Amino acid sequence: MDMKELYNNMGGEIKEFEKFEGDLHKGYKFTYEKRLSEVDVQFFGLVSGDFNPVHFDEKIASGTRFGGRIVHGMLTTSLVSAALARLPGLVIILETYFRYTAPVRIGDVVKVEGVVKEADMAKKQYKIDITCSVEDKTVIQGWTNILIW
Amino acid sequence: MDMKELYNNMGGEIKEFEKFEGDLHKGYKFTYEKRLSEVDVQFFGLVSGDFNPVHFDEKIASGTRFGGRIVHGMLTTSLVSAALARLPGLVIILETYFRYTAPVRIGDVVKVEGVVKEADMAKKQYKIDITCSVEDKTVIQGWTNILIW
């Protein structure tokens, strides 16, 4: 069984890799969304080694202000990486800043919204504002600098 | 077969989840390292949906300045999440800033080094400077703000 099939059988949402259309410019907007499931938390724990009980131990997590297990913040921001990779061209991430403003629950669909705020066409560098949300709630705000090859 | 065994069989390095010792204070230092393997790139692609060819397509990647496939930057920073989770207490990440300064290759062992630069003992918030390196080369520099519950 290949890895994609395995992941899908475990309840993971497979996203096709489709590039966004048009040319990058100041004001360019894009969105990307994906469901974060139990398998994603398990896989992220294994690749990183982050077995923080707030993500894995329902008993401990339910005793916190979150009231239950939450998704790793950096698993949520991995969706920003996926959104950026869909921009036109070969995308290289140079810098990221993220502020985690609200928890994401296992099973939540996270929407990434980006807007190009600065475009240096000569250097092919772009500063992009990022918002991640679940339904109408903002869960992450930040920005990134990318380079297009 | 459980997921840990599966991951290990695929060549992934299993890290035990052990907390660092002592109490957090200004000047507190810690390190964490992990090998990032093919299985990590595959898993990270699936959980995020980031199938950027620079990570997956040797032909395209070898035509770039990198000269071959590299690890997702945000897969490397996932090790920062794992390092922070090992700090004493229940760790909540509030903010992160990272600058990606050099590529990480598949199979590289990445070392995360952190040092507490500011400690607000009343709020239990800590600002931590972060460096990630492969052998003697810095690959990521940044900082994070965390909260301890």
A53 lies in a domain? yes
Whether residue B131 lies within 8 A of chain A, CB to CB, comes out as: no
How high is the mean pLDDT in each 10-residue block of chain B (149 residues)? 90 97 96 98 98 97 96 98 97 98 98 98 97 98 97
Do residue B34 and residue A48 have CB atoms under 8 angstroms apart?
Answer: yes
- Residue A79: which CATH number? 3.10.129.10
Whether residue A75 lies within 8 A of chain B, CB to CB, comes out as: yes
- B73/B107 Cα distance (integer angstroms): 14
Interface test with B, best of A70, A81, A97 (most B CBs within 10 A): A81
User: Shortest CA distance to A77 belongs to which of A29, A122, A40?
Assistant: A40
**H helix intervals, B19-145:** 38-48, 53-56, 58-62, 73-85
Q: How would residue A55 be classed by pLDDT, with cut points 50, 70 and 90?
A: very high
Count the domains in chain A.
1
B49 lies in a domain? yes
From A24's Cα to the closest Cα of chain B, the distance in A is 17
- B13/A132 Cα distance (integer angstroms): 30
pLDDT over 90 (residue A23): yes
Interface test with B, best of A31, A32, A39, A50 (most B CBs within 10 A): A50
Do residue A42 and residue B12 have CB atoms under 8 angstroms apart?
Answer: no
Nearest CB to B78 within list A47, A99, A100: A47
**Nearest residue of A to residue B74 by CA position?**
A78
Whether residue A94 lies within 8 A of chain B, CB to CB, comes out as: yes
* Whole-complex ipTM: 0.97
pLDDT at position B1 is 65
Point out which residues pair with B146 in neighbouring strands. B93, B126
Three-class secondary structure of residue B85 per DSSP: helix
pLDDT at position A1 is 65
Do residue A100 and residue B91 have CB atoms under 8 angstroms apart?
Answer: no
B23 exposed, middle or buried (CB, 10 Å; 0-12, 13-18, 19+)? exposed
pLDDT over 90 (residue A51): yes
A13 contacts on B by Cβ (under 8 Å): 49
Three-class secondary structure of residue A80 per DSSP: helix
A125 lies in a domain? yes
Do residue A50 and residue B149 have CB atoms under 8 angstroms apart?
Answer: no
Domain that holds residue A63: 28-148
pLDDT over 90 (residue A124): yes
B130 lies in a domain? yes
B95 lies in a domain? yes
B74 contacts on A by Cβ (under 8 Å): 74, 77-78, 80-81, 93, 96
A94 contacts on B by Cβ (under 8 Å): 99-100
Reported as type and span, the H/E element at residue A33 is strand A29-35
Average pLDDT over chain A, rounded to whole? 97
B2 lies in a domain? no
Q: How would residue A76 be classed by pLDDT, with cut points 50, 70 and 90?
A: very high
A15 lies in a domain? no
